[in-house]
Amino acid sequence: MSIKDNRREYDYATLSRDSLDRCPFAQFSQWMDQAMGAGIIDPTAMCLATVDSNGRPWQRMVLLKGFDDRGFVFYTNLGSRKASAIGGHPEVSLHFPWLQMDRQVIVGGCAQPLSPSEVADYFSSRPQGSQLAAWASKQSAVIDSRAVLETQFETVSERFSDGHIPVPDDWGGYRVVPTEFEFWQGGEKRLHDRFSYLLTDNAWQIQRLSP
């Protein structure tokens, strides 16, 4: 089968204006709960899109580590490509691809740095191996081989052999404060249901979009 012939119908569910919650955070929470309950692999995985100082977009998958009516939280190395882009252009986009449920959610907003206390609280909750990896990897930096990375991991493992692993100076996180949401439910014959929430004068305006 060729790529152009690879297709299927989207018939998991439908989405109507009446079924939507007036609050996009509540609607997202409902869909997240359903995605987790459906056994989707990595339901908290989201594609983060940034734009660098030259206007070039880039995307990568990161894990959502918390959300509430203030925004969506993720953590990263502050020397990474994503952090560098955010430093110069904090407007970003998040995309949740719940394709097993014929659903997608897009969130647009501004990425704001988390406080040191928020970062420390989360870092202390991570498995020891993940804490050590944060010290071992200078994210996005060029390395000669995997052996270099493994050696760095062994070095920091010995350094913190007493079990106390502090937060690295170059590790932190962001909260994406939304100004726009889009909820997409795949529909038969490509008649998808799409609804946007746009923040206008401190109120969320809901609109149906053509597929």
**pLDDT over 70, % of the chain:** 100
Residue 8 confidence (pLDDT) above 90: no
Tens of pLDDT, residue by residue over 168-204, are 999 999 999 999 999 999 999 999 999 999 999 999 9
Helix (H, G, I), strand (E, B) or coil at 16: coil
- Tokens representing 32 are 């997240």
Which stretches does DSSP call E strand in 64-170? 66-68, 71-77, 91-98, 103-113
Tens of pLDDT, residue by residue over 116-158, are 999 999 999 999 999 999 999 988 889 999 999 999 999 999 9
Please name the residue ranges forming H helices in 144-207.
146-159
Q: Which residue has the tokens 């010290």?
A: 135
Residue 1 confidence (pLDDT) above 80: no
How far, in whole angstroms, is CA 193 from its chain's centroid? 23
The whole-number pLDDT of residue 114 equals 98
State in Å, rounded, how far the first CA of the chain is from the last one: 26
* Side-chain half-sphere CA neighbours of 55 within 13 A: 0
Average pLDDT over every residue of 19-29: 97
Instruction: Exactly one of 17, 70, 190, 208 is catalytic; name it.
Output: 190
Q: How confident is the model at residue 5 (pLDDT cuts 50, 70, 90)?
A: confident
Angle between helix 146-159 and helix 128-136 axes, rounded to 10 deg: 120
Q: How far apart are CA 49 and CA 106, in angstroms?
A: 11
The whole-number pLDDT of residue 144 equals 92
The superfamily in CATH containing domain 12-126+170-209 is Electron Transport, Fmn-binding Protein; Chain A (2.30.110.10)
DSSP state of 114: P
Domain spans in the chain, listed from the N-terminal domain onward: 12-126+170-209
* 17 in catalytic set: no
Tens of pLDDT, residue by residue over 33-88, are 999 999 999 999 999 999 999 999 999 999 999 999 999 999 999 999 999 999 99
